[in-house]
């Protein structure tokens, strides 16, 4: 095992997960116990739930679990800040005690048995281990299409995210330490973490159906994650606008020359359609471009305000009594 510690923290973001949480907790507890008994992780390992402003009984369940068993610990946000903020806060809190942290969804879709492989990679010297799903068979048609489209668009727009890697990943103490240096408000961990470097590896796992409840990633949340991902990782859309502007200008120049030539030779017929099409097109492109620039200006606005990325309302963490 080398000289690296082996306290593992599982960080689990939860948003309205009351239907699945008790079961998840039990399965994760059992897995941790097996890993502890096999000597792979320390008995000080914990499961840390982050309640991302749930409107249902999620926090009640989490605090109940924490009362019964010190292996559980919980963070409660003051409101819904989103999946990315939830896992970030979990990781930063866990980093205070853990040698390695694995972030995993509350719905048990990501095969918890893959933990052995994550830990093996860590022991062989990896600081970051990325979980990559084997297939998308369990996803519905809509989810499959949107997810695949998302990765395609991201790649085109200059943000190279790992295909089919969600947020099931292990970070070591060193990687977590590096992560604390990133102060940005606009967070897209999937894009950010690979830019940190470090010896890393990939673990493949199977995706299962959601154990209970329904997806908490609404279309609105997905679109917003995609836009945040692109604008936080790449300025290529701005470059594309410049290029587009240049092309339109060139086209206009040619048009002007043609018009002048027609005028000089006395052939200037009234071109109603051309005028309308050109002005509508350029009008549309201008507004769209302003919108894209606006996205970036908005991001700068939020970054300069540097508001807290989340507010923790309550936290439960107990020393293991042994
Ligand atoms: N989640 C969260 N905040 C949100 C939305 C989702 O913490 O605003 C959590 C959710 O509880 C789950 C994980 O993020 O643990 C992934 O969400 P979900 O399983 O609903 O997404 P899907 O698997 O459908 O992409
Ligand atoms: Mg899920």
Ligand 1, atom 25: closest residue by C-alpha: 217
Is 90 exceeded by the pLDDT of residue 156? no
Is 60 exceeded by the pLDDT of residue 264? yes
Query: Is residue 31 a contact partner of residue 221, using CB atoms and an 8 Å limit?
Result: no
Interatomic CA distance for residues 239 and 165, integer angstroms: 27
Q: pTM to 2 decimals?
A: 0.81
Mean pLDDT of 134-142: 75
The neighbour count for residue 18, using CB atoms within 10 Å, is: 18
299 CA from centroid of ligand 2 (Å) = 28
Ligand nearest to the CA of 140: 1
What residues are paired with 135 via a beta bridge? none
Q: For the chain, what percent of residues have pLDDT higher than 70?
A: 98
| E strand or H helix that includes residue 146 | helix 141-156
Query: Is residue 84 a contact partner of residue 169, using CB atoms and an 8 Å limit?
Result: no
pLDDT of residue 1: 46
Burial 25-54 (b: 16+ CB within 10 A, else e): beebbebbeebbeeebbbebbbbbbbbbbb
Give the orientation angle of helix 173-180 with respect to helix 83-94, to 10 degrees.
120
Mean pLDDT of 131-150: 80
Strand order in the sheet with 100-103: 200-205, 128-133, 169-172, 100-103, 8-14, 46-51, 72-77, 312-316
To test ligand 1's pocket by mutation, which of 10, 15, 50 has the most ligand atoms within 8 angstroms of CB? 15
Q: How many CA atoms lie within 13 A of 242 on its CB side?
A: 5
- Tokens coding 84: 């990315």
Question: Average pLDDT over the chain, rounded to whole?
Answer: 88
Pick from 12-26, 70-84, 178-192: least confident: 178-192
Ligand nearest to the CA of 17: 1
221 CA from centroid of ligand 1 (Å) = 10
Ligand 1, atom 13: closest residue by C-alpha: 105
């Amino acid at each position: 095992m080398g000289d690296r510690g082996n306290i593992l923290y599982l960080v689990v973001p939860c948003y309205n997960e009351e239907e699945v949480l008790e079961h998840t907790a039990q399965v994760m507890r059992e897995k941790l116990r097996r890993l502890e008994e096999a000597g792979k992780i320390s008995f000080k390992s914990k499961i840390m739930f982050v309640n991302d402003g749930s409107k249902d009984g999620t926090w009640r369940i989490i605090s109940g679990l924490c009362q019964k068993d010190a292996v559980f610990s919980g963070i409660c946000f003051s409101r819904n800040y989103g999946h990315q903020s939830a896992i970030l806060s979990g990781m930063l809190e866990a980093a205070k005690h853990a040698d390695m942290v694995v972030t995993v969804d509350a719905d048990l879709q990501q095969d918890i048995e893959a933990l052995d492989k994550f830990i093996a990679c860590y022991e062989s010297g990896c600081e970051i281990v990325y979980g990559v799903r084997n297939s998308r068979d369990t996803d519905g048609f809509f989810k499959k299409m949107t997810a695949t489209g998302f990765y395609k668009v991201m790649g085109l727009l200059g943000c190279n995210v790992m295909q089919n890697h969600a947020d099931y990943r292990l970070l070591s103490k060193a990687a977590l330490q590096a992560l604390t240096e990133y102060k940005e408000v606009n967070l897209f961990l999937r894009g950010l973490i690979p830019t940190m470097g470090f010896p890393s590896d990939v673990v493949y796992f199977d995706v299962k159906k959601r154990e209970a409840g329904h997806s908490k990633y609404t279309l609105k949340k997905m679109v917003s994650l995609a836009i945040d991902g692109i604008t936080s990782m790449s300025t290529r859309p701005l470059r594309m606008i410049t290029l587009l502007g240049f092309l339109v200008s060139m086209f206009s120049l040619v048009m002007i020359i043609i018009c002048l030539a027609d005028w000089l030779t006395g052939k200037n017929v009234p071109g109603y359609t051309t005028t309308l099409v050109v002005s509508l097109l350029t009008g549309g492109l201008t507004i769209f471009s302003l919108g894209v620039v606006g996205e970036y200006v908005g991001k700068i606005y939020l970054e300069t305000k540097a508001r807290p990325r989340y507010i923790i309302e309550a936290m439960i963490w107990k020393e293991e009594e042994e």
